[in-house]
Amino acid sequence: MSSQIIPYGRQHIDQDDIDAVVKTLTADFLTQGPRVNDFEEKFAEYIGAKYAVAVSNATAGLHIAVMALNLKPSERVITTPITFAASANCVRYAGGEVWFSDIDRDSYTLSLEDTKNLIESKPKGFFKGIIPVDLEAFRESADKHGLWIIEDACHAPGGYFTDSKRNKQYCGNGNYADIGIFSFHPVKHIARGEGGMVTTNSEQLYKKLSSLRMHGITKDNMTENHGGWYYEMQELGYNYRLTDIQSALGITQLAKNSEGVVRRNEIANTYKEAFKGKLKFQSLQDGAYNAHHLFIYCRS
């Protein structure tokens, strides 16, 4: 019997993706051109956020997110132990301390109860931020204790939950988290080679994120102006830019995302049906829609 290894992920590239990339290769800008803005605007509209900042990958996005939220060395941030390394590493990049609270036994996401207990066991101001999943409940708790929220939505473009007012809240739309982060690594929904997006509804955070992505260099609000090529580096930033080539691919891939999420749910339902009673599946709160980057179960 021959054994075949099923790959962890495989990107879905159509002719329109290829055409968009080829067209960009012969256009004026390979980077810092119009396709980046175009992709940012389309992505923000799709998710329902006011602002989107395209970055070279989601890890870079997480890094500038904690910087924009002003995380200082030794300040503490709570996150889930079940995530990819980058969700915690971004805190370490800024010199902060990572505190894990436990996961919920049914949803496998960060437990609200455990996190509340952890926050309340320490004096006010002990923690600075939180990287959770059930946003409405966590927002309430975060506001009570003066914490910010980063939503690591890398697995979730097109996923949503329904809030207590029965409004659909798309992951990363900025209504409950200060900043949302998405990844466009090819194993994810929107394949772009490498790439990420940072979303927010705050104009102040948007400006800070845009500056950090671009070396901290600005041509707005300068202390002096000598015209022409003059610009100022007003803070220490990074080169976390995304190219126009990747953005062109992002635009065509984004147009197919909703369809892809529907297909992922169909496949997940087939597994659930086939393994009913034999495996325990991740629970989903009422009115939520899973974008299914992963299909999670445990042996009951």
Ligand X SMILES: Cc1ncc(COP(=O)(O)O)c(C=O)c1O
Q: Which residues of the chain form contacts with ligand X (CB under 6 A)?
A: 57-59, 83-84, 86-87, 152, 154-155, 183, 185, 196
CB of 154 to ligand X, least distance (A): 4
CB of 31 to ligand X, least distance (A): 18
Which DSSP symbol is given to 107? T
Residues 6+ apart with CB under 8 A from 90: 59, 62, 63, 65, 66, 150
Question: Would you tell me the crossing angle of helices 34-47 and 244-254 to the nearest 10 degrees?
Answer: 30
CB of 148 to ligand X, least distance (A): 17
In the complex with ligand X, the residue whose CB is nearer, 191 or 273, is 191
CB of 186 to ligand X, least distance (A): 10
In the complex with ligand X, the residue whose CB is nearer, 277 or 296, is 296
Q: 157, 174, 142: which is closest to 256 by C-alpha? A: 157
CB of 195 to ligand X, least distance (A): 7
Residues 155 and 171: their CA atoms lie apart, in Å, by 9
State residue 216 phi and psi, 5-degree precision. Answer: 80, 15
In the complex with ligand X, the residue whose CB is nearer, 85 or 236, is 85
In the complex with ligand X, the residue whose CB is nearer, 96 or 232, is 96
Helix ranges (DSSP H) in 26-77: 34-47, 58-68
In the complex with ligand X, the residue whose CB is nearer, 11 or 218, is 11
225 backbone φψ class: left, alpha, beta (φ>0; ψ -120 to 50)? beta
